[in-house]
């Protein structure tokens, strides 16, 4: 009997404690609101500091971490927003997900004065294009990413390549193959492979989908089956059959070719990769995978993304992060204010200097802090690349488009003249909902 009473008392206490905690969780209406900011794992330290410094007397910004893979980040945010989650206030979005989310009306557009603040003339064109949808500004560019051609100056010199002039993929592949070097790309079956294919096609003056109709979603016109598509396939085919292809060519990613720049033996490589590469090697001086000394780092060269077709200007890939505000946020005004703060020029300077995440604002490239942290010509190359880069298809169906392209262009060793035709047929079937992915 006593035991039973004790149990009853314990259960009662537990229930009371539970209801108290539930009440406490539900409450908070009277206190200072908390804005949740879902970030991806890049540059966490600086983002945490930004969350703190952008918190005001009206609200506190709290960081929530998303998974590391872009697909998982997208899925998690989409599931929250599809369920009209009011606790998703701010989110760091990969530019390719912005059209999808905006089309589903999950992002709160910036209007009036705020719109002019997040997208003024200072924002680089390539970065600015990623945040508009349906004539509205649906996100704020926070940092911009772009690819350039990284290479060993000694290797280019041995091949007799004048790197002050634009180079083509053909030249780069031949130069590497004839001089014991390699060419590093991203050719695993994942989204970054589509980044490469897209840049190759755009560099030849074409597009995966007709840019005029791309926003029409399912009704977009497929234009991958074109001369530009064939030119792109020819580059991949050439590299696949060349001595310059790296051993893990068909599973290569952003990280795998880093070690080929300063190998134990060999001439090094030409590599198309994102902006983080400079900081990466700068931090690896004297360490495995990095240059032996400061002079070794000086052998690292950079040039504009290679041309697909000689004489036709290349279209470097654009990446980065845009800050979106959840359409179901309980504090939309505060959240938009916070978005403006975390994308300000000051915030972008900190991200660039501390984390190597490059600004989307032109003025920041000219700041003293950045000039101190990076070589001047590299900064100029980055800002030029972001400004003249080519976006990936801006579609609410981007994820399907990307998977469909991967399905027909992978493995890169099997790419040939018929690949653009085959992928066009499959892409049309996918867009019209007539095939499974």
Partner 1 sequence: MTSVIANEAKAGKTPKAPTSDRSRAENRLALKLVAPALALMLVVTAFPMLRALYLSLFDYSLTAPDDRTFIGLTNYWTALSDGLFWRDTVTTVAIMIITVAFELVIGFAFAMVMHKVIFARGVIRTSILIPYGVITVVSGFAWQFAFSYQNGFVNSWLPFIGDDFNWFAERNSSLIAIMASEIWKTTPFMSLLLLAGLAQVSEDMLEAAKVDGATWWQRLYKVILPNMRAAIMVAVLFRALDAYRIFDNIFVMTAGANSTESISFLTYRQVIEQFQLGIGSALSVLLFLSVLVVAFIIVKLFKVNLADARQEG
Could you list the residues that contact partner 1 (CB under 8 A)?
Answer: 71, 75, 78-79, 82, 100-101, 103-105, 189, 217-218, 396-397, 399-400, 403, 433-437
Nearer to partner 1, 11 or 437 (CB): 437
Selection from 390, 347, 382, 317 nearest residue 118 by Cα = 347
* Residue 103 CA, distance from chain mean position: 20
Q: Which segments within 128-237 are labelled E, that is strand?
A: 132-133, 136-137, 140-146, 148-152, 182-184
Overall residue count recorded for the chain in this entry: 437
Expressed in angstroms, the distance from the first to the final Cα of the chain is 64
Q: Tell me how far, at minimum, the Cβ of 223 lies from partner 1, in Å.
A: 21
- Token pair 């909902």 is found at 433
The distance of closest approach from Cβ of residue 112 to partner 1 in the complex, given in angstroms and rounded to an integer, is 25
Minimum gap (Å) between residue 82 Cβ and partner 1: 6
Q: What's the min distance (Å) between Cβ of 19 and partner 1? A: 24
Name the residue nearer to partner 1 (CB basis): 396 or 415: 396
Token pair, residue 372, equals 């101190």
Nearer residue to partner 1 within complex by CB, 20 or 82: 82
Instruction: Supply the Cα-derived Rg of the chain in whole angstroms.
Output: 24
Distance, in Å, from the CA atom of 269 to the CA atom of 352, rounded to the nearest integer, reads 26
**121 beta partners:** none
User: Between 21 and 69, whose beta carbon lies closer to partner 1?
Assistant: 69
Query: Residue 68 gets which letter from DSSP?
Result: S
Q: Report the distance separating Cα 382 and Cα 380, nearest Å.
A: 5
Residue 91 backbone dihedrals phi, psi, to 5 degrees: -145, 140
Minimal CA–CA distance to 278: which of 270, 286, 290, 292? 290
| DSSP letter (8 states) at residue 291 | -
Least separation in angstroms between CB 190 and partner 1: 11
For residue 202, the minimal CB distance to partner 1 (Å) is 24
Q: What are phi and psi of 49, to 5 degrees?
A: -65, -40
Q: Can you say whether the dihedral through the CA atoms of 216, 218, 221, 223 is positive or negative?
A: positive
Contact (Cβ atoms closer than 8 angstroms) between residue 103 and residue 218: no
Name which of 151 and 397 has its Cβ closer to partner 1. Answer: 397
Minimum CB separation of residue 33 from partner 1 in Å reads: 28
CB of 311 to partner 1, least distance (A): 39
Kindly state the smallest distance separating residue 103's Cβ from partner 1, in Å. 6
Written as six digits, the tokens of 424 are 């066009």
**Residue located via tokens 């300000």:** 344
Nearer to partner 1, 116 or 219 (CB): 219
> Shortest gap between Cβ of 217 and partner 1 (angstroms)?
5
Q: Give whichever of 274 and 397 is closer to partner 1, judged by the CB atom.
A: 397
Any alpha helices (H) in 63-121, and if so which ranges?
Answer: 70-82, 97-103, 112-118
Is the Cβ of residue 240 or residue 435 nearer to partner 1 in the bound state?
435
Least distance from C-beta 85 to partner 1, angstroms?
A: 14
Question: Cβ closer to partner 1: 71 or 366?
Answer: 71
Nearer to partner 1 by C-beta: 101 or 302? 101
Beta-strand relationship, 34-39 and 318-325: unpaired
SS3 361: strand
> Which residue is associated with the tokens 């918190």?
55
Residue whose CB is less far from partner 1, 192 or 347: 192
Angle at the Cα of 143 from the Cα atoms of 314 and 269, rounded to 5 degrees: 45
């Amino acid at each position: 009997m006593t035991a039973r009473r004790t149990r009853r008392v314990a259960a009662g206490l537990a229930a009371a404690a539970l209801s108290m905690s539930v009440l406490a969780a539900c409450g908070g209406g009277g206190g200072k609101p908390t804005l949740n900011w879902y970030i991806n794992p890049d540059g966490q330290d600086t983002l945490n500091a930004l969350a703190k410094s952008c918190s005001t007397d009206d609200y506190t910004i709290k960081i929530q971490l998303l998974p590391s893979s872009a697909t998982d980040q997208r899925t998690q945010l989409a599931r929250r927003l599809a369920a009209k989650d009011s606790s998703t206030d701010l989110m760091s979005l990969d530019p390719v997900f912005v059209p999808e989310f905006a089309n589903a009306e999950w992002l709160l557009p910036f209007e009036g004065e705020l719109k002019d603040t997040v997208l003024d003339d200072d924002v680089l064109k390539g970065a600015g294009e990623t945040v508009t949808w349906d004539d509205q500004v649906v996100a704020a560019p926070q940092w911009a990413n772009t690819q350039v051609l990284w290479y060993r100056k000694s290797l280019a010199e041995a091949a007799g390549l004048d790197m002050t002039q634009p180079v083509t993929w053909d030249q780069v592949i031949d130069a590497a193959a004839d001089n014991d070097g390699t060419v590093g790309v991203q050719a695993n079956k994942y989204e970054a492979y589509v980044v490469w294919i897209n840049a190759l096609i755009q560099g030849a003056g074409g597009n995966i989908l007709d840019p005029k109709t791309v926003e029409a979603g399912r009704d977009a016109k497929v234009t991958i089956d074109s001369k530009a598509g064939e030119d792109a396939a020819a580059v991949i085919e050439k590299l696949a059959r060349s001595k310059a292809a790296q051993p893990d060519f068909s599973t290569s990613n952003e990280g795998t070719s880093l070690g080929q720049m300063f190998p134990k033996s060999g001439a090094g490589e030409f590599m198309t990769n994102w902006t983080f590469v400079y900081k990466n090697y700068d931090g690896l001086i004297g360490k495995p995978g990095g240059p032996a000394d400061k002079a070794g780092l000086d052998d690292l060269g950079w040039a504009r993304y290679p041309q697909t077709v000689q004489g036709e200007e290349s279209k470097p890939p654009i990446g980065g992060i845009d800050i979106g505000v959840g359409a179901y946020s309980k504090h939309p005004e505060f959240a938009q204010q916070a978005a403006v703060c975390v994308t300000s020029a000051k915030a972008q300077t900190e991200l660039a200097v501390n984390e190597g995440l490059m600004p989307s604002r032109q003025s920041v490239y000219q700041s003293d802090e950045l000039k101190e942290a990076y070589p001047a010509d590299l900064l100029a190359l980055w800002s030029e690349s972001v400004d003249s880069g080519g976006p990936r298809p801006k579609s609410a169906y981007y994820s399907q488009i990307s998977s469909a392209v991967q399905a027909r262009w992978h493995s890169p060793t099997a790419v040939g003249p018929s690949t653009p035709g085959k992928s066009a047929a499959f892409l049309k079937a996918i867009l019209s909902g007539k095939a499974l992915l």
